[in-house]
Amino acid sequence: MVASAERPLIFDIQKFSVHDGPGIRTVVFFKGCPLRCRWCANPESHKYTPELMFYPDKCIGCGVCIKACPNGCIGVDHKTGMFFDRDRCTDCCVCTEECYSGARRKSGDEMSLDDIKKEVDKDMVFYETSGGGITFSGGEAMCFPETVRELAEYYKGKKVTTALETCGYVPWESYEMVIPYMDLVMFDLKVMDDAKHREYTGGSNRLILDNIKKLYKRVNTVVRIPIIPGVNDSEKDIDEFGRFVSTMKDGINTVHILPYHDLGLSKYNALGREYLMEDTKAPSDERMAEIKKHLEGFGFNVVTGG
């Protein structure tokens, strides 16, 4: 479950975020995740290796990529025009270096600690004035616990707030490495029923539930629940969430409910993957209000959205 921490792949560094912890934040997205949630909006975060993302609507047909590709994946058919044989593609991403239209993009760049610090440090003035800081996300940042620990310790030393977004599906020892340097953990709970959790995420929730029961006693923890219609939005599901989190009310008082969206659909297409939730609709505002009220009945401060 845990990959090498020396030079992780980063697939995005998002500046000026206001939904991933207090104040103005920079979110560092680590590539690689042990789960495969069907509704995931960042499918480019799944694998631990670089991937090619191809957006045909941005292609201008210049043909530069044809010469660049070492595997002959790209060519011209005189009847149908340019073609891309993804089955032959090895994700070497050489073509992305020549594509100036943005049709071919590489997801995942190897970055050293100094590389990451250089980017995050650019906005230090905003962290100081807003109480913001750095948030570690993914994928699953805790697949790289040594890197997260070193970065978190560095920014704590600069009096910058640190936050972690996590799916919980990593060994407890990984959390123990970073807890002393973390101000906030945003912990995802997706499905309470273990069989259903396996079906929709590819992994058991037992480790996840065990981890949060230990974690919240050691660090400020906020629970986040993605609301997925037809998966975890029934009255029974919401009641199970409420009853479980209630066992940790001595440390957890805030729950975020995140409505499902399909904004990641174009990314699945760009990766040549099937999106299994295409027929799922976003929950209505009325339904989200009902869920909020239900969870508030357990005594939580419930926030809709990030």
Dihedral angle sign, alpha carbons of residues 163, 165, 168, 173: negative
Domains, the chain, with CATH or none: 9-48+125-304 (3.20.20.70), 51-107 (3.30.70.20)
Dump pLDDT digits (tens) for 257-288.
999 999 999 999 999 999 999 999 999 999 99
The tens digit of pLDDT for each residue in 150-208 reads 999 999 999 999 999 999 999 999 999 999 999 999 999 999 999 999 999 999 999 99
What average pLDDT does the segment 49-67 reach? 95
Banded pLDDT at 4 (limits 50, 70, 90): very low
| The pair of three-digit structure tokens given for residue 54, joined into one six-digit string | 């191809």
- Whole-number Å distance between alpha carbons of 174 and 207: 13
Cα distance between residue 293 and residue 177, in whole Å = 37
Q: Identify the band that residue 81 occupies on the pLDDT scale cut at 50, 70 and 90.
A: confident
Q: Average pLDDT, whole number, for the chain?
A: 95
Q: 113-121 and 145-157 helices cross at what angle (nearest 10)?
A: 40
